[in-house]
Structure 1
Amino acid sequence: MADVILKNVRKNYDPAVLKDTLRNIELNIKEGEFIVFVGPSGCGKSTLLRMIAGLEDITSGELSIGGKYMNDVPPVERNVGMVFQSYALYPHMNVYENMAFGLKLKKMDKETIHKRVSRAAEILGLVPLLERKPKALSGGQRQRVAIGRSIVQQPSVFLFDEPLSNLDAALRVKMRIEIAKLHKELNSTIIYVTHDQVEAMTLADKIVVLSPLKESAESNLEQYGSPLDLYHNPSNKFVAGFIGSPKMNFLDGILVEIGLDKCKIKLNSGDIVTACVDARRGKVGDKVELGIRPEHLVPVDHPDAVGRLSGQVQVAEHLGAESFVYMEVDGKDFTVKAASEIPVDTGDTLEVGVPAQACYLFDSTEQAFPRTAKYNRT
């Protein structure tokens, strides 16, 4: 295990253009943590991972692994194990040989190789498959072999670059569980890249949210914290909209009343909504955006429904245990997640309740006002 520290790290592929891919990345990853880099395509998450691995140069800033300065250290000397999106297994070698190959290149003795491969196979449930060639394995099994190939190297840090993106939905869920179990078994430092925020929420001790870099921005590291902290207390609209599935709903409005721990917003539709938010840094008349998660909306007769919204149903998806209703509110797409089937159809008007404790609020620069309450729908 080892910690990973990045200080003011920047990446620019063409200094003549002065257009950074990553800027002012500050991270302190502790030994044994499971960290997930998440963000949309083009935000630099894979580039950042490759910089840690040594596969990309660092334009400026400092990287250390296990207390050692690593900027100019070749990848092979960094003691990191990388698992790519592509399995990249040798088709002519069986599972055992694929996992042992890297150790043979290091000229390790046969007994050490056998112990390491056997241990990795036991952890990953590959013992019955050691004699099989890759063509005789499923996608999930191949990915486990690729992970095993890293485990036998006994790296101080594991780096995963979207390892599950080639798998179908059921295998992704299964492999997520396998990777979570692997982390508990090895107690290793893991840095994991994904575009799937569900993977991020279920696997991570902490999440690093990256965004495509705007020219005027100080950094494209939007927020760094635990999954629930990012879910309940996003620092800005970008994080709020990215963390959570389905994504958060947003409606435009203005502040009409400001209190110590509550405020009132008049939406463009004319509806007045109360939010448990400290909006004292704003002033009456300021333009704001109200955020409300689909899973936090309630029936209008619910005791927490202090505000109401209505809209026209576009599509209703009834999934058995829950339903998703996609509607239009004040000209914007709006999603409602219900615990059971709602008797609505396309073209119907649906009214929903808005709990004040469940609301988020963002100013004209898309920065979040502090929330003064958390909400658990019952």
Structure 2
Amino acid sequence: MAEVTLTNVLKNYNPSLLKDTLRNINLDIKDGEFIVFVGPSGCGKSTLLRMIAGLEDITSGELKIGSKVMNDVPPVDRGVGMVFQSYALYPHMDVRQNMEFGLKLKKFDKDTIEKRVNNAAQILGLDALMDRKPKALSGGQRQRVAIGRSIVQQPDVFLFDEPLSNLDAALRVKMRIEIAKLHKELNSTIIYVTHDQVEAMTLADKIVVLSPLKESAETNLEQFGTPLELYHNPTNKFVAGFIGSPKMNFLKGQLIEIGEETCKVKLNTGDVITACVDARRASVGDKVELGIRPEHLVPVEHPDSKSRLSGMVQVAEHLGAESFVYLDVDGEDFTVKAASEIPVDTGDSLEVGIPAEACYLFDSQEKAFKRTARYNRT
């Protein structure tokens, strides 16, 4: 296996327009890590993966796999195995033949091919399916064959480009578990692209959050860290809004009191919220945005309820184990994750409590202030 290092990597499809797709990407991916690239459409996450694979040229910067610079090395010699969104299986070949094909092209001997294919089939639970053609397989089984075709190559790095996006919701959950187990078993370096932040949070050792590049920005790599680092301590509003499901609520206001461990924000609604945030780099009167996750809101009578606000119910979704209530708070959408049978209907007024430890705060440039506490709801 191998480390992957990207240094000041830039991608521009048309340099004459001076419009970069990726800019100043610096990453140090350790041997054996499971890294997930996330971000909205157009942020360059698949482009970055394809640059590592050698399917896209690097405009400038340096890519190393292990200790070797790979910028001009053809894909076949990079020691990477790629699994695409499309299964791309040969329809006239059975499972075994699909998995053998790449090894036969590389002139491996028969015993080696058989050993590698049988080992991959056992790992992926494909033993009973080896004589079937792709048309006789389910979507999840086809994806496992595509992964198996990569495993038999024994690459230094596995690259997955949205491999589960063609599957239904239940099968995506099952395949997430399979891929996590595969990583534990192979102890391999995996780089995985997805637009689904739930996949990112459940699979990754570390997450790379990318954003569509703004012309004036130094880079579109917003943050690189563990899932819980990004969840609890996002560097800016973009990361805070992207990581977490349902997404974080944001409300505009201004600072009215600043302390070492806490501050107070007067929202545009007139409500005053106490937040466990160090806002000393700002000044009283500065415009800010308060962030609060739907799962951290509590009933107003809850002992953690330090502040409160109210809104009008637009929609209530009762899902059995929990409910999501969508409020209108001074013209802003505001989501509450509540008890399974909360008695509300459209048009009702709902008041919720806000724990000070659960608050996030962002300045006028959307940079996060340092939080001084984490909230664990009981």
The interval holding the TM-score normalised by the smaller chain is: over 0.9
Q: Look up the match of 2:155.
A: 155
Q: Look up the match of 2:8.
A: 8
- State how far apart, in whole Å, the 2-side matches of 1:70 and 1:320 are: 51
Q: Look up the match of 2:102.
A: 102
Q: Look up the match of 1:164.
A: 164
Q: Look up the match of 1:204.
A: 204
- State how far apart, in whole Å, the 2-side matches of 1:171 and 1:68 are: 38
- State how far apart, in whole Å, the 1-side matches of 2:171 and 2:322 are: 23
Q: Look up the match of 2:195.
A: 195
2:134 is the alignment partner of 1:134:
yes
Distance 1:339 1:67, change over 3 A: farther
Q: Look up the match of 1:225.
A: 225
Give the counterpart letter for 2:126 in structure 1: L
- What secondary structure sits across from 2:321 in the alignment? coil
- State how far apart, in whole Å, the 2-side matches of 1:338 and 1:234 are: 24
- State how far apart, in whole Å, the 1-side matches of 2:118 and 2:30 are: 29
- State how far apart, in whole Å, the 1-side matches of 2:334 and 2:309 are: 10
Give the counterpart letter for 1:177 in structure 2: I
2:43 is the alignment partner of 1:43:
yes
1:375 deviates by 0.3
Give the counterpart letter for 1:200 in structure 2: A
1:339 deviates by 3.2
Q: Look up the match of 1:62.
A: 62
- State how far apart, in whole Å, the 2-side matches of 1:64 and 1:232 are: 31
- What secondary structure sits across from 2:228 in the alignment? helix
Show CA shifts across 1:300-321 (max 9, x none).
0001101001000000001111
Show CA shifts across 1:74-104 (max 9, x none).
0000010000000000000000000000000
- What secondary structure sits across from 1:81 in the alignment? strand
- What secondary structure sits across from 1:16 in the alignment? helix
Q: Look up the match of 2:295.
A: 295
Give the counterpart letter for 1:102 in structure 2: G
- What secondary structure sits across from 1:310 in the alignment? strand
Q: Look up the match of 2:84.
A: 84
Q: Look up the match of 2:348.
A: 348
Q: Look up the match of 2:117.
A: 117
Show CA shifts across 1:328-351 (max 9, x none).
111100000013221000000000
**Which 4+ runs in 1 deviate beyond 6 A?**
none
2:255 is the alignment partner of 1:237:
no
1:109 deviates by 0.6
- State how far apart, in whole Å, the 1-side matches of 2:22 and 2:243 are: 21
Give the counterpart letter for 2:320 in structure 1: G
- State how far apart, in whole Å, the 2-side matches of 1:240 and 1:339 are: 24
1:72 deviates by 0.3
Give the counterpart letter for 1:216 in structure 2: S
- State how far apart, in whole Å, the 2-side matches of 1:280 and 1:248 are: 23
- State how far apart, in whole Å, the 1-side matches of 2:229 and 2:341 are: 30
- State how far apart, in whole Å, the 1-side matches of 2:341 and 2:263 are: 33
Show CA shifts across 1:203-229 (max 9, x none).
000000000000000000000000000
1:171 deviates by 0.5
- State how far apart, in whole Å, the 2-side matches of 1:99 and 1:339 are: 48
2:305 is the alignment partner of 1:278:
no
- State how far apart, in whole Å, the 2-side matches of 1:67 and 1:324 are: 49
TM-score by length of 1: 1.00
- What secondary structure sits across from 1:102 in the alignment? helix
Give the counterpart letter for 1:288 in structure 2: V
- State how far apart, in whole Å, the 2-side matches of 1:172 and 1:351 are: 36
Q: Look up the match of 1:248.
A: 248
- The sequence identity of aligned pairs, in percent, is 84
TM-score by length of 2: 1.00
- What secondary structure sits across from 2:278 in the alignment? coil
Q: Look up the match of 2:333.
A: 333
* Count of aligned pairs: 378
- State how far apart, in whole Å, the 1-side matches of 2:339 and 2:196 are: 23
- State how far apart, in whole Å, the 2-side matches of 1:321 and 1:89 are: 40
Q: Look up the match of 2:184.
A: 184
- What secondary structure sits across from 2:57 in the alignment? coil
